[in-house]
Chains A and B, each alone.
Chain A
Amino acid sequence: MILNTSILAPLQSRHLAPLKTWLGVDIGRSALKLVEVEQDEDRWKICQMQYSSICDLSLWQNKSLSTSELTRELSQLMELSSGWKHRKAAALLSMSAADLRIMSLPKTARDEFEEVIYDELVKDFQEDVIFDYWETEAELSDSSNDLSSLIVYSHTFNNSSAVGNSLSRVGLNCRILDGLPFALARAVAMAEPHTRHQTMVAFDWGYSTASITFLKSHTPFYTRILRGCQFQRFLEMLSRELDLPEQHCWNLLRTSFSRENRSVDFQSALSKRLQPVIQDYLDLVQKELVRTLQYVEQNSRLPRWEKITVLGGGALFPQVYEPLEKRIELTLKPWSLPLAEELDSSMHRELVPLFGPAAALAALSFRRWR
């Protein structure tokens, strides 16, 4: 005790801490995100973050991840920050490469459960898979006394191996390959630790998948993918409207929608051009979102949620999520976490909502989450 509290205290806090904390590696469809977090008296802080756009790369071939491309990209990102080699890491793969399904199975031994799940997944994927599962809340499940309702989250074996191998090749020791619902749950808990007894809703407005997760006691209660609502859909619509490649549309949005940039005239002219596209896209999102909210409201006894925490690309543009707030009559709050002093710039602050899941992965080094 004395050793821990007094003699080794300076070592633990300054020198040993970087060895103990993990790196969070979020492998999305459009970007790679690496984050390191630290906890200071129950307050989480992002101490290092790196982002790399991978839209134009052949990292993803349909749903398969390329080990060599991922290794190359990770290696370049790792070189941008010091002290990231030889560290433990937790990773997350894009939800678009994952399969999330609810399965009702007869109540039997765990081994038999897993065999049935594996057989069914292999039949669908037509290749080897790796899966994990958890039981649904009784109030939302269709299970009877003889049936268990399970939420099964799976990846193909090749994709899981690609992540493990790539991280290993760049000198990271990958310990966990997490699923998005749990990463979102932890991200919300990190940002708002005092909301444990409230119903929290996390909306991951990602490039390839938009998903919504309801949290009860900071654990996933119900997750649904909002079909056709991914941010890429919006970029496609913009691309058609402006006759520009998707990447250019993204860059245009990033520069033009920044609150402090451009003149009022330019903003109004652009808004006039973009408004119809935004309206069309928001119609889709609103429809799916409201449908899901109503389903959970009607089928569960969860206390009413007050707001929705938004993560991912959609959370970067107030011009997109603010109109949606009015439509669904709920506050949409972009996910955020304080930044370490050396990172605290407006450029980094604007990107923070993209790093929610990655930060939640990095937080897995803390025993509380394991």
Chain B
Amino acid sequence: MTHHLNLLPGGFLKRSLIQTRLKQWGAVFIALWGAILFYYGAHNAGIQREVKQTELLKYQVKPLLVMQAETTEANTETTNLRKRQQLGVGLEHKNIPLQAIGKVSEAASTQDGDLYLTSFILSSERQHRQHQLNPAGATKVADELVEIQTELKLVLDGMALDDLIITAFIDDMNETGFFRTVELISIKEQQVDDRQVRIFNIECKL
């Protein structure tokens, strides 16, 4: 049922409708912005809080991580020392443990027949070491302790097809963990039958 007439020109009605719609959408837009800002504010505060907590935890955990790394390193070193000690004990009793021989031959066999060991010599030499007990004492005469130690070394002679194979062999020997140092003492080129090969000498200190 009609309750009124409307004789207003269409332009006014359209303008009025546009104004109303603009106001409505403006309100929606402002509300949306408000919600976004509110959400950002609330969320940002949370993120900042979490970042602070993480940094605090990192700070608290850092010494533990360092300690863990040091422990791992110490454990590895201990294991290596134990291996070397076993090998040394075996060598002192002129009884090279099978484990060491196995490791050396394993390292040599990884080179796919391009490397051959020709000799395997164990030698030992006595060394004198000095320990300075009071390094800061300028006025006092430093107490010195002279310790006599036996250094064992394994000298390997062999031949290989090229330098790279020798380097790879040295790396493998280092990785066994039995030796304190693995050093290439000498290398030379030699004609064997119709082939040029490398003759090497490696010294592994225990």
Contacts and interface: CB of A to CB of B under 8 A. Distances in A.
Given A131-B7, A173-B19, A186-B4, 12 more contacts: A90-B4, A130-B9, A160-B7, A160-B9, A173-B16, A174-B12, A176-B8, A177-B6, A179-B4, A179-B7, A186-B3, A219-B2
Contacts of B1: 219
B5 interface: yes
Contacts of A168: 12
Interface string B14-34: 001001000000000000000
A219 B3 contact: yes
A93 B6 CA distance: 11
A134 interface: yes
B3 A182 contact: yes
A70 to B, nearest CB: 15
Interface residues of B, number: 14
28 contacts: A93-B7, A131-B7, A132-B7, A134-B2, A134-B5, A155-B7, A157-B9, A160-B7, A160-B9, A161-B9, A161-B12, A163-B8, A164-B11, A168-B12, A173-B16, A174-B8, A175-B8, A175-B16, A176-B4, A176-B8, A177-B7, A178-B6, A182-B2, A182-B3, A182-B4, A183-B4, A219-B2, A368-B3
Contacts of A131: 7
Contact of A176 (B6, B9, B11, B19): B6
Contacts of B19: 173
Interface size, A (range): 20 to 34
Nearest to A165: B12
Contacts of B12: 161, 164, 168, 174
Contact of B5 (A153, A173, A175, A370): A153
Given A157-B9, A160-B9, A178 B4 contact: yes
Contacts of A132: 5-7
Main SS class of interface, B? loop
Interface of B: 1-9, 11-13, 16, 19
B11 to A, nearest CB: 8
Interface in A136-191: 153-155, 157, 160-161, 163-164, 168, 173-179, 182-183, 185-186
Interface string A71-113: 0000000000000000000100100000000000000000000
A208 to B, nearest CB: 18
Interface string A37-50: 00000000000000
Contacts of A368: 3
Nearest to A128: B9
A168 B2 CA distance: 26
Contacts of B13: 175
A154 B7 contact: yes
A132 B2 CA distance: 11
A100 B83 CA distance: 119
Residue among B1, B4, B9 with the most chain A CB within 10 A?
B4
A164 B50 CA distance: 60
Nearest to B20: A173
Contacts of B2: 134, 182, 219
A178 B13 CA distance: 13
